[in-house]
Amino acid sequence: MRSGTRIPSTADDSLDPAASARAGNLVWAAAFALTLVHIVLAWLLRNQIGMGNDDAIYLQLSHSLRSLSYREEFLVGAPWHSQYPPIYPLFLALVSTITGDAVEVPLAATVLLSAGALLLVFDAVRRVWSPMLALMVLAVSAVNLFLLENAGGIASEAPYMALSALSLWFMARRPDTKISVGMAGAAAIAAALTRSVGVMLVAALVLLWLVEHHYRRALILGATAALLIGSWLAWTLVSPDKEAGRSYVGDASQIIGKPAKSFEKNASSISGAHLARFKRNTRDYLTASLPFRMQVPTISGTLVDNIIWLLLFAACSVLGAIMIWLSAWRSVVVYLLLYMGLLVVWLWPVARFLDPILPFVFLTLLTGAGTLGKRLFPLASWVPALALTLIITASSLVQLAPVLASAVSCDRLARLQSTGCFNPQERAWLTAALYARERTPADTRFLSSKEGAFGYHSDRKLVAIGSVLGDGSVSIIGRMKDANVSYIVIGTGTGREDDLRKALFPVCDRLQVVQVFPPQAAILKVLPGSQTDHARSACPFLA
């Protein structure tokens, strides 16, 4: 392992081997206890497959993979999928092939992947720095609400975090052995084929090896990644589905091309728009998204706490990043820089994109606090880091309590009747999907802003909303009839549904309400021919 600067361990070097072994066992016992807390909390918070689109799409893609395909079978024509890389759906397909179609099993597997990721980070920090710092990073990560929600859901964040942690763990364990180098590269490629942002992890390893003059390693990883990840990215480029907000390629094309947001359109040039986006995203992540996802305690409606947090975070993180760079885990610094660099130039800030790197952000913050403590309090160097750990952990538990209480109150055997499972809007929309499943012929075609979720719950085919919207209201009725759309489902409240409402409102008399599901869901029928509804019953639902 490369020699470097280490934060002093709290362990007493004078301990005899037996005492050291006992101390090590206690550390691992504490680590397993914290991990068990994470597992139990994540399981109690486990997601109900509801109105969310991603989890339903992942499950349906896994079913498609079991048939040796990768198609969106919930859409008319079953087009090939091009948004989500295939590793996580493949994992779900393998689990369901072995254990059956019960959703609880892949949920449990995802919980274990999240727990494994945290243990890998713990072990790497323990090896490179000290058990004390490792336990503090594990403590704040184990009870973080957003990491728990990711762990208990059908989502790619936890598997991606596990693969990225595995890659970086090999870099910390024995970074100069062939096995560690090969496994680190393989895990990084798998991470990139789980979430596309994983290309930043691959790039971090390649860049680090180039800086350290390991040109052969960099060349092999770069060539392998170009073949495997490049094949997937090439498909996403040529795929016809590039709707912004629904396709990463669609989003990227807006970053590279003309500005789309109103504040960017006012910029004097494309470069000015990119600069405006960079400033906006950076400000959002530092002052809002990061404190929120890290669950730093703040005072509502005040600016002082944000300023204090920003100064503390900046000082500790910069110092922590320097210390990590001087240690045997440089890859973490390069990875965080490239990952955050991508986020601040992306089309818009997305807070949940921070979740897979939160354990490493906590590591950077607490490493800096520990180093600062060593300079300010030589006799109690861990006081600042321990204080931060306690504050963030306490804040996390306070924010976790009401969410946990709501989750425990959910009767999972009567999900649509239990108030603890879904909010009223979700229950209404899910009831509409159940109505469609029970009351319409199997070949009926629907239109919804959440095609994956509605297809999963209703077992009905949907027409892609992008193919119907076109240029708005002009000929939208004709496009729906050409696609044999019989019904439209309203009630998700998403931006895509807002676009659909705006396009349909001028022709709302060509639609008719079939069934209403309070508070705001409804199924609208596309009237045949040139028939109109003189009562204009659909218009209030589209206003």
Per-residue pLDDT of the chain (543 residues; tens, 9 = 90+): 444 444 444 444 455 777 778 888 899 999 999 999 999 999 999 988 888 889 999 999 999 999 999 999 999 999 999 989 999 999 999 999 999 888 999 999 999 999 999 999 999 999 998 999 999 999 999 999 999 999 999 999 999 999 999 999 999 988 788 999 999 999 999 999 999 999 999 999 999 999 999 999 999 999 999 999 999 999 988 887 655 555 565 566 555 655 554 445 555 566 777 788 889 999 889 888 999 999 988 766 666 667 778 888 889 999 999 999 998 899 999 999 999 999 999 888 899 999 999 999 999 999 999 998 888 888 788 899 999 999 999 999 999 999 999 999 998 888 888 888 899 999 999 999 999 999 999 999 999 999 999 999 999 999 998 888 876 667 899 999 999 999 999 998 888 899 999 999 999 999 999 999 999 899 999 999 889 999 999 999 998
Query: Is there a domain that residue 73 lies in?
Result: no
Sorted by sequence, the CB contacts under 8 Å of residue 43 that are 6+ apart come out as 107, 108, 111, 152
Query: Is there a domain that residue 418 lies in?
Result: no
Query: Is there a domain that residue 215 lies in?
Result: yes
Distance CA 189, CA 183 (A): 10
Q: Comparing C-alpha atoms, which of 166, 200, 198 is closest to residue 183?
A: 166
The pLDDT score that the predictor gives to residue 288 is: 85
Q: Do both 443 and 396 map to the same domain? A: no
The torsion angle over the Cα atoms of residues 273, 278, 280 and 285, rounded to 10 degrees, is: 160
Query: Is there a domain that residue 60 lies in?
Result: no
Q: Do both 355 and 445 map to the same domain? A: no
CA distances from 326 to 213, 323, 332, 431 (A): 17, 5, 11, 57
Residue range of the domain that includes 148: 17-49+103-407
Pairing status of strand 461-462 against strand 445-447: parallel
Distance CA 376, CA 327 (A): 21
Q: Is 514 helix (H, G, I), strand (E, B) or coil?
A: strand
Q: Which residue has the tokens 């439209």?
A: 488
Q: Do both 295 and 442 map to the same domain? A: no
Distance CA 243, CA 434 (A): 28
Query: Is there a domain that residue 61 lies in?
Result: no
Query: Is there a domain that residue 390 lies in?
Result: yes
Amino acid at 6: R
Q: What is the pTM of this model?
A: 0.90
Domain boundary among 379, 407, 435: 407
End-to-end CA distance of the chain: 64
Q: Do both 211 and 292 map to the same domain? A: yes
Distance CA 148, CA 43 (A): 8
Domain boundary among 376, 407, 438: 407
Domain boundary among 359, 379, 407: 407
The structure tokens listed for 47 are 């997601």
* Total number of domains constituting the chain: 2
Query: Is there a domain that residue 81 lies in?
Result: no
Q: Do both 321 and 348 map to the same domain? A: yes
The structure tokens listed for 251 are 């989003």
Rounded (5°) CA angle 205-334-292: 125
Q: Do both 440 and 485 map to the same domain? A: yes
The pLDDT score that the predictor gives to residue 420 is: 83
Q: Which helix (H) or strand (E) holds 273?
A: helix 270-284
Query: Is there a domain that residue 251 lies in?
Result: yes
